[in-house]
């Protein structure tokens, strides 16, 4: 089964062009399945049955794994067997009937105004990274854009004079506080972060390339910890805080 898993991961990378996060998650989940099957003396891919797969799902439920984790495992198994079937490695897609548990959606509470204010003060403006981080956080809160939209912004899509960014064919305005943070970043930190590289993205990582979603999450969580915010903060909470502060927009 190990060989088939590795071939599947290469297929996801080279053919499906899935994200690294998805590939890592699927590989980890499939290795958990392999370990479970090995304990049942099932090692050959052709010897796995629907009963084996259902037993694994029941095992995950018995071990109190979160419904979202079980759903991800099922998604990995389904994708794996879809690949195996199309590639002729198995005759039948035995994962087709696996059903994911219902996942209850938790209500994400927005940060309070005071929490946002404290959070925005955490970046150290004596460093290029701190200046960048302040600009990112200010823009997130001032516009309510998603993280995927934030990291996709180009430097040319910022209009400091009129106070807006062009985001996915729409213009989103921001106030003077975000404008000042962006101005400082563009005039100082961005040039230092870019170095010899010529990336056209607005926000750059410390290597001069495009910021990643994971990078923004890491930044946000580190400052939340410094600010003493005990809630498990997410970028979506910043977006909710924006919506709460701008109900008419």
pLDDT tens for each residue of 84-128? 999 899 999 999 888 877 656 666 566 888 888 899 999 999 999
CA distance 216 to 137: 9
CA distance 125 to 123: 6
pTM for this entry: 0.57
Percent of the chain with pLDDT over 90: 66
Percent of the chain with pLDDT over 70: 93
CA angle centred on 86, ends 83 and 88, rounded to 5°: 105
Model confidence at 249, in pLDDT bands (50, 70, 90)? very low
Mean pLDDT on 198-209 = 94
pLDDT tens for each residue of 229-242? 877 787 778 777 76
CA distance 110 to 196: 39
Contact at 8 Å (CB) between 211 and 201?
Answer: yes
Contact at 8 Å (CB) between 6 and 45?
Answer: no
Query: Could you give the angle at which helices 213-226 and 235-245 cross, rounded to 10 degrees?
Result: 70
Does the pLDDT at position 36 exceed 80?
Answer: yes
Structure tokens at 76: 């990995």
Terminal CA-CA length for the chain: 53
Residue 239: alpha-carbon gap to chain centroid: 15
Q: How many residues does the chain have?
A: 249
């Amino acid at each position: 089964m190990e060989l088939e898993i590795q071939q599947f991961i290469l297929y996801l990378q080279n053919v499906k062009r899935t994200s690294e996060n998805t590939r890592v998650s699927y590989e980890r989940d499939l290795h958990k399945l392999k370990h479970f099957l090995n304990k049942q003396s099932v090692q050959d891919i052709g010897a796995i049955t629907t009963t084996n797969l259902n037993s694994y799902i029941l095992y995950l439920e018995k071990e109190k794994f979160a419904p979202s984790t079980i759903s991800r495992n099922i998604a990995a198994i389904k994708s794996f067997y879809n690949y195996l079937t199309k590639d002729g490695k198995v005759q039948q897609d035995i994962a087709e009937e696996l059903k994911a548990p219902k996942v209850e959606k938790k209500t994400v509470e927005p940060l309070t105004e005071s929490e946002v204010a404290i959070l925005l003060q955490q970046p150290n403006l004596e460093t290029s990274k701190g200046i960048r981080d302040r600009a990112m956080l200010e823009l997130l809160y001032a516009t309510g854009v998603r993280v995927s939209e934030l990291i996709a912004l180009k430097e040319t899509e910022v209009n400091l004079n009129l106070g807006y960014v062009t985001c996915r064919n729409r213009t989103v305005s921001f106030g003077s506080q975000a404008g000042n943070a962006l101005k400082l970043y563009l005039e100082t930190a961005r040039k230092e972060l870019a170095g010899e590289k010529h990336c056209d993205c607005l926000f750059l990582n410390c290597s001069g390339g495009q910021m990643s979603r994971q990078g923004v999450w890491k930044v946000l969580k580190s400052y939340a910890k410094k600010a003493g915010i005990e809630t498990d903060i997410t970028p979506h909470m910043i977006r909710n805080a924006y919506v709460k502060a701008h109900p008419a927009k």
